[in-house]
Every structure is written in structure tokens, then in C-alpha cells.
Amino acid sequence: MGGVYNPPAFALDEEDAWAVLSRGGPATLVALTSRGLSSAIVPVIVEDRRRLLAHVARANPWWREAPEAGEVLALFHVADAYVSPTYYPSKAENPAVVPTWNYVVVEVHGRLRVHDDPSWVEAQARSLVERYESARDPRWFTDDAPVEYLERQVRAIVGLEIEVTSIEAKAKLSQNRAAIDIEGVRTALARGSDLERALGREMRDL
């Protein structure tokens, strides 16, 4: 089984990989179909360390084309940002530096199961809402919407379950630089855009 190129300095162990994944976010699902490689971007709930639950629009042909019980790759692009050599204090003494890109990614391999049962799909969608609305103020509740409308929305999506067979995570966060440069990168990202600050938080947390 293939996997992401993952030098030891950047590799996260399985515990840390699941910790990163538990924060949630969308995944890009990739499967080999009769038309070749095909992808779908879906919202995902980590049910446990054995299953990922998601849904996709019924109109999206991906769920019909991906082979039932076939292998699927779920890619989680957690955070990323450009790193300028100007972030490195050590550049003043050694100008032999070049730009790079820092990022945190998680790669999950698994087996796909499609759920076209409205009760399963509704439960998954409700879990997704609870995951992302529970800490919001004000928050939205699924039952705020009219029943007939919710029923139409449920009929418009199909459930996906991925039985996890392996997980691998890579956090390229300037670990190959001196401590003073790591701090320089973190400080610069903390002053940047939303995406840059997100990566700065990953450098702090990991």
C-alpha cells in the first residue's frame, strides 16, 4: 500500500494523527473508478478510530462509480502556508536559505460502504451539525428548519462510511531548522492571514 512521502522528522505517530483528525474538517475522497481516478470533497465525522462517516450529494456520480467495499483514500489538508527566508533570524549570518512550504496533512486508507437509508443519512447529517454548531453562539439546530424541507435535503444526499485500514500524518513545520528559526516562522505566521495563523497554531500545538 502506498502512502505520503514522510521523512521521519516530519512524521506524526498514530496517536497524534488521530488527534489532528479529530479536529474535523472536509476530506478529499479518491477512488479508482471505471473512468479512472475520481475525487469528491465531503464533510467528515470521525466516528471512532475504525470509521469515518460522511455524505455526498446524490447528484454527484462519485458514489455510484466508486466500487462498493473498494479502497478509498481520504486526504485531510489541515493547514498550510508559504515560508519566506525572511522569517529566519539565522539568515543574517548564513544567507544560504530558500523558501519552502509548511503544512499538516492526514492520509487515511479504508474500505468504502455506501448508505442510501434516509434514517442513516439523517443521523450522520445531524451528527455533523452537532459537531460544528455546538460551540457557536448563537447556534443553529437542525430542527430549526421545516420538517418537509429537511426531508427533501436528506433525500438529496447519500451516506458514506469508510472502514479505516491505515492512517498516516505529516507535519512539516520547520523541524529541520534551528530553534531560533522555528520561532521566527511561528511569530511571522501569527501576524499573517487566517490561513497563516492556522498553521502557526499547528506549530504551537504540535
**Residue with more model confidence, 21 or 172:** 172
Instruction: Kindly tell me if the per-residue pLDDT of 159 is higher than 90.
Output: yes
- With a cut of 80, say whether residue 2 has pLDDT above it: no
pLDDT, one tens digit per residue, over 112-141 is 999 999 999 999 999 999 999 999 999 999
pLDDT tens figures, 104-120? 999 999 999 999 999 99
What is the model's pLDDT at position 77? 93
Which percentage of the chain shows pLDDT scores above 90? Answer: 87
pLDDT at 180 over 60: yes
Report the pLDDT value the prediction gives residue 6, as an integer from 0 to 100: 80
pLDDT of 3 strictly over 80: no
Percent of the residues in the chain that have a pLDDT greater than 70, as a whole number: 98
- pLDDT for 44-66, tens place per residue? 998 888 999 999 999 999 999 99
What integer best gives the mean pLDDT of the chain? 94
Residue 154 is predicted with a pLDDT of 97
CB 108 within 8 A of CB 162: yes
Q: Which residues pair with 72 in a beta bridge?
A: 31, 110
Residue 1 pLDDT exceeds 60: no
Query: Which pLDDT score is estimated for 34?
Result: 86
pTM over 0.85: yes
Q: What is the pLDDT of residues 182-191, one digit of tens each?
A: 999 999 999 9
Residue in this structure with the C-alpha cell 534551528, named with its chain if needed: 178
Structure-block grid coordinates of residue 10: 516530519
CB 50 within 8 A of CB 163: yes
Q: For domain 11-79+99-175, which architecture applies?
A: Roll (2.30)
State the Cα–Cα distance between residues 171 and 203, nearest whole angstrom.
Answer: 9
Phi-psi region of 155 (alpha: psi -120 to 50; beta: other; left: phi over 0): alpha
